[in-house]
Structures are given as structure tokens and as C-alpha cells.
């Protein structure tokens, strides 16, 4: 079994942090007396926000070049090389 990298551990921790709240919200939503359209819409919103915050934390922590993370360019630079990024000057 291989060890998890630091980046993977941070990603899993970010997902695990949002899981309990998302699960409780989904249970309350599905067992409530809401219309099916409201249930599906809110379920999609909860799931999207959960994954969106995880991706945002990955962007902020590792400065990856995923389009919502990159400001002016799509180049990828490892942490510690921020001087090569135009917006970090």
C-alpha cells in the first residue's frame, strides 16, 4: 500500500470536513415534505457547493493552474516559485 501524498491528504481532509454537514442536509431534504423539483435543485446545490469549496481549497493551497484558479495565465508553478507568476509580483 502506498502512502498518501501531502496534496492527497489535504484533498481528502477537505472532502471529509464537508461530508457530515452535506449528509445531514441531504437527509433532512429527502425526508422533508418538499416538491421533487425543490429536492433535486437543492441537492444539486449542496453537492456543487461541497465540491466547489474542496476545489477552492485545493486552488488556494497548491496554486494549481486550473482555470478558476489561474488569474492571468494557465501556467503551473510549484509552491515557492510564485515570482514566476505575473500576478504574484
**According to the model, what pLDDT value does residue 38 have?**
92
Backbone angles phi, psi at 68, to 5 degrees: -70, -20
- Residue pair 52/69 in contact (Cβ under 8 Å)? The answer is no
What integer is the mean pLDDT of 49-69?
A: 71
Band (pLDDT 50/70/90 cuts) for residue 80 is low
pLDDT per position as a tens digit, 3-40: 888 878 888 888 899 999 999 999 999 999 999 999 99
Instruction: Give residue 76's pLDDT.
Output: 52
- pLDDT for the residue numbered 65: 55
Q: What is the DSSP string of 70-83?
A: -SS------TT-GG
Amino acid at each position: 500500500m502506498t502512502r498518501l501524498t501531502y496534496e492527497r491528504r489535504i484533498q481528502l481532509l477537505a472532502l471529509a470536513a464537508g461530508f457530515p454537514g452535506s449528509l445531514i442536509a441531504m437527509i433532512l431534504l429527502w425526508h422533508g415534505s418538499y416538491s421533487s423539483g425543490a429536492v433535486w435543485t437543492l441537492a444539486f446545490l449542496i453537492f456543487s457547493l461541497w465540491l466547489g469549496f474542496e476545489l477552492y481549497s485545493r486552488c488556494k493551497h497548491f496554486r494549481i493552474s486550473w482555470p478558476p484558479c489561474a488569474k492571468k495565465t494557465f501556467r503551473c508553478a510549484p509552491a515557492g516559485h510564485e515570482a514566476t507568476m505575473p500576478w504574484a509580483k
